[in-house]
Amino acid sequence: MKTKILFKHLILIASLSLAFTSTARAASDDGIAVDQSKYANREVLPDFTGGECPNNPRGLTQINGNLYRHTSGAGLAVHSGLVLITTEGALVIDPAMTCTAGWLQDEIKKRFNVGVKYVVYTHGHADHISGAQVMQKAGAIVVANERAIEPIVGEKIPTAIPDRVFDKEMTIKLGGETVLLHRVAPSHSDSMIMVLFPKYKALQCTDVCENHTLPYNDFLDFYYPGWIDTLNWVLAQDVDVIDIGHYTPATKKDQLALRDYIVDLHQQVLDLVRKGQSWDQLYRNVKFSDEVKSWTAYESMHTLNILGMFRWVSSHRRGEW
């Protein structure tokens, strides 16, 4: 009799322990729910990533442990994001293209037998967040900074409206893993966030960070002080791998070189404007180091970088008038 009672107690303890473990590992986040009904009938533009693309390169490669990196596109057109695989589902950063989002979702299911639980937007630009609607329809929770909703709606971007948002910080717990979302400052858009995977010493720093490449074009959607603040924040993190949303992953050393380049470019342009030089004079007088001249896309981007900085400086100074 005593043995039977003891056995029942052991079963009860084991059941309670299993329940506690399941609860402790259950997916959770501290984001704020978005009322999707407000956007149910919003107008959207045609999806420029929605056409058939069977020959578009794509991949899902391991970074470390349960952390992977998805890619879509080739060469300088490649887009990327980190992917965390857990027993409770996957977390995908920036699907990038509607025509490859379904493939990525299926690939995760085929290889790991889990669905996509979370999709995280780094910022509200269509070239990174397209395709999220495919995963949202399949049950994924879409997360973004609260400032991303306005451009998604205002620019009529045909992707998913976020389900959950945050202001400065958000934590996602999934399958025993922790993912930290952080908004430092306006940089490349005012909705930009950093996504940190502490266990893997990995960071998603899309478009703000680079890997021996010049910032794109004329610093589209650009905030100079916040970009520098964000790079300084990145340099203070304990990370070894930084996915930049394009090209190949980078390191903190690469971000130090990038920060110094942008700071130097800003100072040169500011000094030349203060000397009264017009654009036609100024762009010919900005100097680049030999290191920067060796970076990818230097020939196609350096004059555009000067132009973007010239616009910023001209709009954020006032002399004696």
Sorted by where each starts, the structural domains of the chain and their CATH numbers stand as: 43-251 (3.60.15.10)
What's the pLDDT at 25?
62
Query: At 11, which amino acid appears?
Result: I
- At 233 the three-state DSSP class reads helix
Separation CA 93–CA 243 (nearest Å): 10
pTM attached to this predicted model: 0.91
What's the pLDDT at 19?
39
**What sign has the CA pseudo-torsion 205, 104, 213, 239?**
positive
What's the pLDDT at 69?
98
Which are the contacts of 298, defined by CB distance < 8 A and separation ≥ 6? 214, 288, 292
What's the pLDDT at 26?
81
pLDDT in tens, 173-204: 999 999 999 999 999 999 999 999 999 999 99
Residue ranges of the chain with per-residue pLDDT less than 50: 1-3, 5-7, 9-24
**What sign has the CA pseudo-torsion 250, 252, 253, 254?**
positive
What's the pLDDT at 77?
87
What's the pLDDT at 319?
84
Q: What is the DSSP string of 174-216?
A: ETTEEEEEE---SBBBTT--EEEEGGGTEEE-TTTS-SSBPPS
Separation CA 79–CA 245 (nearest Å): 5
Query: At 250, which amino acid appears?
Result: A
DSSP 167: S
Q: For 276, phi and psi rounded to 5 degrees?
A: 90, 15
The set of long-range contacts for 19-23, using a CB threshold of 8 Å and a minimum separation of 24, is none
